[in-house]
Amino acid sequence: MAMSRREFIGAGATAAAGLALAQPLTVQSRGDAAAVRGLTAADARPAVISSANGIRGVAKARDMMLQGADPLDAAIAGVNITELDPKDHSVGLGGLPNEDGVVQLDASCMHGPTRRAGAVGALEDIATPSLVAKAVMDYTDHIFLVGAGAKKFALEMGFKEQDLVTEESRQIWLKWKANHDPNDAWLDHDDDVKIAFTHGTINMNAVTASGDVGSVTTTSGFSYKIPGRVGDSAIVGAGQYCDNDVGAAGSTGRGEANIKIAGAFFVIEQMRAGASPEEACLRALQRAIQMTETRLLDDRKRPRYDLTYYAMAKDGRYGCANIYQGPQFAVADARGARLESCAYLFTESERPRGPVPMHTLSH
């Protein structure tokens, strides 16, 4: 796991290139499908799970682990693909900026075998915050660096500074700026670009053939957020968490809801107590809804936001759950890389209708 500073930067460059239940838990854990096929769960290892925008990354991460790679190195190489994709506006390069037009990135990671962690928040001008978070873990006695200090550290470690705002993301931000306040001095422009509100992020959790785990979550955060806002992705125990005796877990969606319940840690502890990965994710969603303030609930106590949890047990079982029916997640194991449907608490028809307040989309 340990490597020199030069080796670390080289590896980074290589990677860069390349509540009671609202309804009964009736969905069988998809991670149990291996038993139906006559396999043990461990036969699927190495295995990787992530949010749907990590479909390319889970394939890469699993291939790396088949060649003997560390689970965290593999997971970070997987999310690097999304961080460096300018078309994904929720992560890294091309991520939608804050209200001042500046992209600020958050990331955190954990390494199961060594029980170490690293994180960065409000990081500017560095496209791969996941690798900076790992550098914090590998080269400092700290866990969490933020803002200007995180950038200074990244530059000292050899990371290259670049403008993360692409022309496409700049135009989206300019349209938001022109249209979000009808009383300001900006002229609206309605027919050239579509305003986007990101709520994606990418979380990835990996387990090796021998059962070692790693986890990483990275994001550009709530689009048009107040400068300096840090979401759950940078917070160990919220955006991601792993325990080599249990497994790894993480989250995407409304970060403010997740932070309040230390969601990833909650999922791991539910699994430690015997819950399947999918059931643990569903229980975390229930807890998040219990802790949601009234302004974010409709008259039926349904949340006006999305939240998703992902979990991988060290024996190869996996699970994912979203508040509402519809989203998919990515997984790669002995059956290859694919998208599967998330378990859920409420059907799409039960989702609150009408305009969704922008602030409920944060992640």
Whether 166 is catalytic: no
* Residue 191 counted as domain residue: no
Residue 87 burial (C-beta neighbours within 10 Å; 0-12, 13-18, 19+) = exposed
pLDDT in tens, 245-281: 999 999 999 999 999 999 999 999 999 999 999 999 9
If one counts the domains in the chain, the total is: 1
Specify whether the CB–CB gap between 76 and 85 falls below 8 A: no
Amino acid at residue number 249:
A
* Residue 179 counted as domain residue: no
| 28-32, 155-159, 314-318: range with lowest mean pLDDT | 28-32
* Residue 184 counted as domain residue: no
Specify whether the CB–CB gap between 134 and 76 falls below 8 A: yes
pLDDT in tens, 86-142: 888 888 888 888 888 889 999 999 999 999 999 999 999 999 999 999 999 999 999
Q: Can you list the positions of beta strands (E) in the chain?
A: 47-51, 105-111, 116-123, 144-146, 202-207, 213-219, 240-243, 247-253, 307-313, 318-324, 328-333, 336-341, 343-346
Q: How far apart are the first and last CA of the chain?
A: 30
Mean pLDDT of the chain: 85
| Two structure tokens written together for 10 | 């080289």
- pLDDT at site 40: 60
| 40-54, 134-148, 330-344: range with lowest mean pLDDT | 40-54
Catalytic site residue from 128, 201, 219, 360: 201
* Residues across the chain: 363
Q: CATH number of the domain that 270 lies in?
A: 3.60.20.30
* Residue 286 counted as domain residue: yes
Higher pLDDT, 359 or 248: 248
* Residue 254 counted as domain residue: yes
- pLDDT at site 191: 59
* Residue 187 counted as domain residue: no
Residue 196 burial (C-beta neighbours within 10 Å; 0-12, 13-18, 19+) = middle
pTM: 0.85
Specify whether the CB–CB gap between 319 and 281 falls below 8 A: yes
Structural domain harbouring 160:
5-165+197-361
In angstroms, rounded to a whole number, what is the distance separating the alpha carbons of residues 277 and 223?
Answer: 30
In angstroms, rounded to a whole number, what is the distance separating the alpha carbons of residues 40 and 278?
Answer: 17
pLDDT of residue 37 exceeding 70:
no
- pLDDT at site 42: 67
In angstroms, rounded to a whole number, what is the distance separating the alpha carbons of residues 237 and 219?
Answer: 16
* Residue 185 counted as domain residue: no
* Residue 175 counted as domain residue: no
- Average pLDDT in the 289-318 region? 96
Supply the DSSP string of 48-103, one letter for each residue: EEEEGGGHHHHHHHHHHHHTT--HHHHHHHHHHHHHT-TT-TTSSTT----TTS--
Higher pLDDT, 82 or 19: 82
Tokens 């986007």: give the residue.
Answer: 196
